[in-house]
C-alpha cells in the first residue's frame, strides 16, 4: 500500500473499532462504571496494571478489585485503615497479588496527598513529544515510600528498555477525547500528540505486517519506531491507531 492507502485503511479501522461496542470485551469497561475524575483514574490505573493475559480474566479480576475497594476507589485510597488493607490479602491476578495491591493503595494515597494526584505527576515530567521520561519519573514517585522489591516489576520503566504497554494504555484512556464514548479525555495537561501506542504482541505483529515496524522485539526501541510511523499518519493523535492495530490483530486475526 502507498502511504495514502495505508492511512485510509487504518483510519477506517479506527472508525470501526473506536466505538462504545469496544467496551464490551475490553478492560476499559471497568473505569466506565465511575463518574468522578479520581474514581475513573484510580480504577483505570489498577485495571491497566493487571491488563495482561486472558482478557476475560483481566475484566473479572478488575471487578474483584473494585469490589474489594467497595466500588469507591478514591474514598478507599484516601481513608483506608490497616484492617481495610488486610481484606485485600487474598487478591491475585497472575503475579500481582494482595501485597502488591495493598502497596498500590498506599502509594496512591501518597500521590494524592503529597503530589496533587496522578495527572500532576505525569504532566510535570512530560517531554514535548514523548511520555516515556514521564513514565520513568512516575515510577520513581510511585515507589518513594517503603515497598517490597517484588512490587516494582508491576510498573514498567521505558528508560530501562520496556515498551510500558500497560501505562501507555492507561494514558491513552485518560488523555484521548471522549467523543466516541471509549476513552475519557479527563486529563487536560497532556496532549494526545505526546502519547505512545500500547505495544503488545497483537499491535506489534500487525504493525510489522503493515511495515510500520521492523524491529522484532516489543521493547522501547520498537515503540519509538512505531511511534514515528504513526506520527506520520496523524501527528496530532497518533495513538488512535491503537484501535486499528489491536482490532486487526485480536478480532480479525490479520
Phi, psi (degrees; rounded to nearest 5) at 229: -65, -45
CA angle 188, 243, 251 (to 5 degrees): 150
Q: What is the pLDDT of residue 127?
A: 81
Q: Looking up cell 469490589, which residue turns up?
A: 67
pLDDT tens, position by position, 49-101: 999 999 999 999 999 999 999 999 999 999 999 999 999 999 999 999 999 99
Q: What is the pLDDT of residue 112?
A: 98
Q: What is the pLDDT of residue 113?
A: 98
Can you tell me whether residue 49 is helix, strand or coil?
helix
pLDDT tens, position by position, 195-234: 999 999 999 999 999 999 999 999 999 999 999 999 999 9
Q: What is the pLDDT of residue 69?
A: 98
- pLDDT above 90 (res 130): no
Cell of 198: 500500547
Q: Which of 96, 34, 50, 51 is nearest to 246 (CA)?
A: 51
When pLDDT is averaged across residues 176-191 and rounded to a whole number, the result is 96
Beta carbons within 8 Å of 118's beta carbon, 6+ residues apart: 41, 45, 108, 111, 112, 138
Cell of 26: 475490553
- pLDDT above 90 (res 139): yes
Strands (E), 94-168: 96-97
Instruction: Evaluate whether 73 touches 42 at the Cβ level (below 8 Å).
Output: yes
Q: What is the pLDDT of residue 125?
A: 84
Q: How far is CA 145 from CA 39, 41, 46, 61, 68, in A?
A: 22, 21, 18, 26, 23
Q: What is the pLDDT of residue 56?
A: 95
Can you tell me whether residue 104 is helix, strand or coil?
helix
Confidence of residue 126 (pLDDT cuts 50, 70, 90): confident
Q: What is the pLDDT of residue 1?
A: 85
pLDDT tens, position by position, 142-157: 999 999 999 999 999 9
H-helix or E-strand containing 150? none
Q: Which of 53, 15, 42 is nearest to 184 (CA)?
A: 42
Q: What is the pLDDT of residue 205?
A: 97
pLDDT tens, position by position, 19-51: 999 999 999 999 999 999 999 999 999 999 999
Amino acid at each position: 500500500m502507498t502511504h495514502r492507502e495505508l492511512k485510509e485503511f487504518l483510519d477506517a479501522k479506527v472508525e470501526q473499532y473506536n466505538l462504545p461496542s469496544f467496551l464490551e470485551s475490553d478492560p476499559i469497561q471497568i473505569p466506565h462504571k465511575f463518574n468522578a475524575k479520581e474514581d475513573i483514574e484510580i480504577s483505570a490505573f489498577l485495571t491497566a496494571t493487571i491488563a495482561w493475559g486472558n482478557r476475560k480474566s483481566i475484566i473479572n479480576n478488575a471487578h474483584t478489585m473494585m469490589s474489594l475497594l467497595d466500588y469507591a476507589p478514591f474514598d478507599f485510597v484516601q481513608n483506608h485503615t490497616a484492617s481495610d488493607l488486610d481484606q485485600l490479602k487474598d487478591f491475585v491476578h497472575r503475579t500481582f497479588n494482595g501485597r502488591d495491591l495493598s502497596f498500590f493503595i498506599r502509594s496512591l494515597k501518597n500521590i494524592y496527598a503529597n503530589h496533587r494526584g496522578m495527572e500532576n505527576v505525569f504532566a510535570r515530567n512530560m517531554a514535548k513529544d514523548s511520555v516515556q521520561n514521564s513514565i520513568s519519573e512516575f515510577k520513581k514517585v510511585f515507589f518513594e515510600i517503603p515497598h517490597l522489591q517484588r512490587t516494582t516489576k508491576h510498573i514498567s520503566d521505558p528508560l530501562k528498555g520496556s515498551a510500558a504497554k500497560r501505562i501507555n494504555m492507561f494514558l491513552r484512556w485518560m488523555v484521548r477525547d471522549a467523543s466516541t464514548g471509549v476513552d475519557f479525555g479527563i486529563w487536560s495537561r497532556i496532549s494526545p500528540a505526546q502519547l505512545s501506542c500500547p505495544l503488545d504482541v497483537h499491535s506489534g505483529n500487525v504493525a510489522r505486517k503493515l511495515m510500520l515496524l521492523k524491529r522484532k522485539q516489543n521493547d522501547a526501541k520498537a515503540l519509538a519506531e512505531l511511534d514515528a510511523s504513526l506520527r506520520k499518519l496523524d501527528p496530532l493523535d497518533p495513538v488512535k491507531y491503537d484501535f486499528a492495530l489491536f482490532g486487526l490483530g485480536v478480532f480479525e486475526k490479520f
